[in-house]
């Protein structure tokens, strides 16, 4: 009887904790939600400055706080500044219509900073060392790993979890420190992007530095690097002069990765040339979480999934031609996998 009561009590506490936590994110999201509504899916409806999307740093810095934040100048080291203006995002020639890649539309954004590179394992280590933060994958005890990166003996023992994508395997104790499961580590990968981090983990990391996640509109504007109406951050030619500018998949997916770009899995965040804004790997390497809730219609103030952008080292034209600035996809905020990371943004 007593143990039952304890159990019920534990459940109630857990439920309360969940509600409190979701309230926290919900609340912070409401601070930004007008940005999603105004800048994300609406078509050319900007009339005056009331429609400007402005994101305040307060909205997130109230949630998680380092003792003192450095000034914006200090915090914006290794970030690129995108000056306020009107930009065009989306496309009228969607490849995946159902993803809501279109229409092409105008957005007005206030100035913002965005990390030049994806957040690396080295940077995430500093965060965990300083805070003792535990990622959701560590708490859940598993995460999704691409089967092709596992030894055959390991692979054959794991049941298929996702019927439509049998190459994703749910691996016990795979987490950011063990990207392919317990037998793997980060040796020689401290400069690679951190993976197996959920949206909640990404949010916590950025907030710790007094930063935030970029909105989808900011991310896409940053991806486009000042060019208009191009597929990639550098133009429309995927491999200009025969040189790869991003880490994606070459060969037959999912069985034969010919690694023409030099990488089977993640590459260092410093690899490949930057776009005109000085940003690397906006497409490819790892997918990147954005702040926005997922919708293919208007930018909602809540939802069940978050938007991710840019595609990853697993994307091939044959099935995931999503290594384009306009492309988008989604996952629940507690999802993690071996090809999903993030970078942070900061309001000016």
Ligand X SMILES: *[C@@H]1O[C@H](CO)[C@@H](O)[C@H](O)[C@H]1NC(C)=O
Residue closer to ligand X, measured from CB, 235 or 251: 251
Q: How far is the CB of 251 from ligand X (least distance, A)?
A: 5
Q: Which residue is nearest to ligand X (CB)?
A: 256
DSSP letter assigned to residue 121 = H
Task: Of 125, 106, 94, 101, give the one whose Cα is nearest residue 44.
Answer: 106
84's CB contacts (< 8 A; 6+ apart) are: 108, 109, 110, 111
b/e map of 198-213 (b: 16 or more CB within 10 Å)? bbbbbbbbbbbbbbbb
Residue closer to ligand X, measured from CB, 54 or 250: 250
Query: Which of ligand X, Ca ion, none interacts with 261 (beta carbon under 5 to 8 A by kind)?
Result: Ca ion
Q: How far is the CB of 252 from ligand X (least distance, A)?
A: 6
Query: Which of ligand X, Ca ion, none interacts with 258 (beta carbon under 5 to 8 A by kind)?
Result: ligand X
Query: Which of ligand X, Ca ion, none interacts with 256 (beta carbon under 5 to 8 A by kind)?
Result: ligand X
Q: How far is the CB of 188 from ligand X (least distance, A)?
A: 25
> Up-side HSE of residue 46: CA atoms within 13 Å toward CB?
19
Query: How many residues at the interface with ligand X, by CB under 6 A?
Result: 3
Residues 251-310 that bind ligand X (CB under 6 A): 251, 256, 258
DSSP, collapsed to helix, strand or coil, labels residue 14 as helix
Residue closer to Ca ion, measured from CB, 281 or 331: 281
DSSP labels for 273-310?
A: ---TTS---SSSSSEEEEEEEP-SSS--S--S-EEEES
Query: Which of ligand X, Ca ion, none interacts with 247 (beta carbon under 5 to 8 A by kind)?
Result: Ca ion
Residue closer to Ca ion, measured from CB, 118 or 142: 118
DSSP letter assigned to residue 171 = E
Q: How far is the CB of 249 from Ca ion (least distance, A)?
A: 6
Burial of 253 per CB tally in 10 Å (0-12, 13-18, 19+): middle
Burial of 331 per CB tally in 10 Å (0-12, 13-18, 19+): buried
Query: Which of Ca ion, ligand X, none interacts with 131 (beta carbon under 5 to 8 A by kind)?
Result: none
DSSP, collapsed to helix, strand or coil, labels residue 7 as helix
Q: How far is the CB of 258 from ligand X (least distance, A)?
A: 5
Give me the residues that bind Ca ion (CB under 5 A), please: 247, 261, 263, 281, 285, 310, 313
Q: How far is the CB of 179 from ligand X (least distance, A)?
A: 24
Residue closer to Ca ion, measured from CB, 110 or 264: 264
**Binding interface with ligand X (CB under 6 A):** 251, 256, 258
């Amino acid at each position: 009887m007593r143990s039952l009561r304890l159990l019920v009590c534990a459940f109630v506490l857990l439920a309360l904790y969940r509600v409190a936590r979701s309230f926290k994110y919900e609340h912070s999201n409401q601070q930004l939600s007008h940005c999603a509504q105004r800048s994300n899916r609406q078509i050319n409806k900007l009339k005056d400055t009331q429609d400007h999307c402005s994101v305040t740093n307060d909205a997130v810095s109230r949630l998680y706080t380092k003792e003192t934040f450095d000034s914006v100048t200090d915090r914006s080291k290794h970030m690129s500044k995108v000056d306020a203006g009107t930009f065009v995002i989306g496309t009228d020639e969607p490849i995946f219509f159902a993803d809501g890649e279109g229409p092409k539309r105008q957005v007005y954004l206030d100035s913002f900073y965005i990390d030049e590179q994806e957040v690396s394992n080295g940077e995430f280590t500093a965060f965990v060392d300083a805070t003792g933060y535990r990622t959701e994958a560590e708490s859940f005890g598993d995460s999704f790993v691409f089967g092709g990166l596992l030894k055959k003996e390991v692979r054959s023992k794991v049941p298929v979890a996702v019927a439509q994508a049998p190459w994703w395997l749910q691996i016990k104790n795979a987490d950011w420190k063990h990207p392919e499961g317990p037998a793997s580590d980060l040796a020689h990968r401290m400069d690679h992007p951190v993976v197996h981090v959920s949206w909640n983990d990404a949010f916590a990391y950025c907030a710790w530095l007094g930063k935030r996640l970029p909105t989808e509109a900011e991310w896409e504007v940053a991806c486009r690097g000042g060019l208009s109406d191009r597929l990639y951050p550098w133009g429309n030619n995927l491999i200009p002069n025969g040189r790869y500018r991003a880490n994606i998949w070459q060969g037959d997916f999912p069985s034969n990765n010919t690694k023409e770009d030099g990488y089977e899995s993640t590459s260092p965040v410093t690899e490949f040339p930057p776009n005109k804004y000085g940003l690397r790997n906006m497409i490819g390497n790892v997918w990147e979480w954005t702040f926005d809730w997922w919708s293919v219609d208007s930018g909602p103030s809540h939802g069940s999934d978050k938007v991710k952008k840019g595609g990853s080292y697993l994307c091939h034209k044959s099935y995931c031609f999503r290594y384009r600035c306009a492309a988008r996809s989604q996952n629940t905020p507690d999802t993690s996998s071996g090809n999903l990371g993030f970078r942070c943004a900061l309001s000016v």
